[in-house]
Amino acid sequence: MARILVVDDDPDLLDLIKLLVEGRREHEAVLCADGEEALSIARRDPPDLAILDVMMPGMNGYQVCRRLREHPETAAVPILVLTARGQAVDREAALRAGADEHVAKPVSMAALLDHVDTLLKTHSAGSSSRVVVVGSLKGGVGVTTVAANLGATMARRLNDQVCLVDLCSSSGHLALHFGCRPEPDWTPLLEHDAISFDEVEPLLLQPVPGLHVLASPMVPLVEEELSRAAATSLLEALWQRFRLVIVDAPSTLNRAAAASLEVASVTWLVVTADPASIQTTLGTLRALGEQATQLRLILNHVNPARQISGGSIERVLNHPVARVIPFDREQTRAVGRGRPLTVMSPGSPLPQAVESLAGDLL
């Protein structure tokens, strides 16, 4: 049975949702009409899911959402924003605030319950996540930036239980984001199909406390790559040691990328507003066929002059956008200093968006 916190200033709607979720004898509804009270309830006894209205007196739903994400005990609670504001810009605002889903009123109670069940199921599956893949077949969209900042954020929450893996065979830049030389790297594993953690451990860098990094070779490999068996064995060896393994996937559907997609609990595909990125993402979704339904899109704004809403991307790609990462001027400076922005300036827009991604994994 799930405990669901419902926050809305409409008492009739509160009563209706209570009847809906408790009528199935699977859930318990906790009702609240005030944002501050909702936060107090959630922190005292974190719910399994929260349903938030936006337009409320005092603290609005977006503010409640952000506050839930900021508090360690409620950061991982799935959040559904239920609002009369149904435009694409409203959905983007909800996702930016940290919501997992945005549902516009009016909505049938059956449809609302479907959203609730989907979020609960997704959250339950995510709680046992082992391998998370971040990738794109188009370079320059910020895949490594997302992976590095997510890794640093998760390392803070899961001390010594996070490993970042750069599977690029053509001089990947994951180590660079932490100010490290990519030495050692995973090239000693090229001749293996079965890999143990004892073989991997000497190759791991530890650039920040609690985080381990397996770097890619600085000199691009020529006609060499990890076999599918080796990549699978490598990831299996790492998830036996670490609670979370984050893969910075190569920008090609090679054998290592295919292996990582097969074992991934969650796969995030990064897209930007650039026409080439949109075209490549559309092609990727088509190439992956049924497997594409499991992908979550991240809209990453890497250029201040080229902004586009998540709703526009969804219409073009016919695929939902899970998260939106705003443009952050500080990111270039962070790379130059060899420190992820989430470490150097955690209050900046990009780290705040990555915090929401981290909440999805906890």
- Please check the confidence at residue 169 and state whether its pLDDT lies above 80: yes
pLDDT for residue 25? 57
pLDDT for residue 105? 86
Q: Cα dist. 223→12, 169, 247 in Å?
A: 66, 10, 22
CATH class given for the domain over 2-126: alpha beta
235's torsion region: left (phi>0), alpha (psi -120 to 50) or beta?
alpha
193's torsion region: left (phi>0), alpha (psi -120 to 50) or beta?
alpha
pLDDT for residue 358? 87
- Please check the confidence at residue 127 and state whether its pLDDT lies above 70: no
Residues in the chain: 362
Of 68, 15, 64, 92, residue with least CA distance to 359: 68
Residues 6+ apart with CB under 8 A from 278: 271, 272, 313, 316, 317
pLDDT for residue 211? 93
The predicted-structure confidence for 192-227, as pLDDT tens digits, reads as follows 888 999 999 999 999 988 899 999 999 999 888 899
CATH 3.40.50.2300 domain residues, the chain = 2-126
Kindly indicate the confidence band of residue 24, based on its pLDDT and cuts at 50, 70 and 90.
low
Reduced to 3 states (helix: H, G, I; strand: E, B; else coil), residue 40 is helix
Confidence (pTM): 0.67
CATH class given for the domain over 131-361: alpha beta
